[in-house]
Amino acid sequence: MYFLKIVIYFMILGVLSFIGGRLWANTSVNCEAFPFRSFAFEKEGKIYKKLGIAKWQSHVPDMSRVFKKIMPPKKIESRPEAEKLRTMIKETCVAEMTHWVLIILGAGYIFIWPGIGGMICFLLSFFVNLVFVIIQRYNRPRLVHVLERKMALKPKEFKERSNAECAF
Q: Count of residues for the chain?
A: 168
Residue 119's CB is within 10 A of a number of other CB atoms, namely 13
- Among 33-42, 59-68, 74-83, 152-161, the minimum mean pLDDT is found in 152-161
pLDDT, tens only, 59-70: 787 776 666 666
Distance CA 29, CA 162 (A): 35
Cβ(101)–Cβ(20) below 8 Å:
yes
Q: Where are the domains of the chain?
A: 2-27+36-166
pLDDT, tens only, 9-47: 999 999 999 999 989 888 888 888 888 888 889 888 888
- pTM confidence score: 0.81
Residues whose CB falls within 8 Å of the CB of residue 143, separated by 6 or more in sequence, listed in order: 85, 88, 89, 92
Distance of CA 50 to the CA centre of its chain: 19
CA angle in degrees (0–180, nearest 5) for 61-65-83 = 115
Task: Give the confidence band of 155 by pLDDT, cuts at 50, 70, 90.
Answer: low
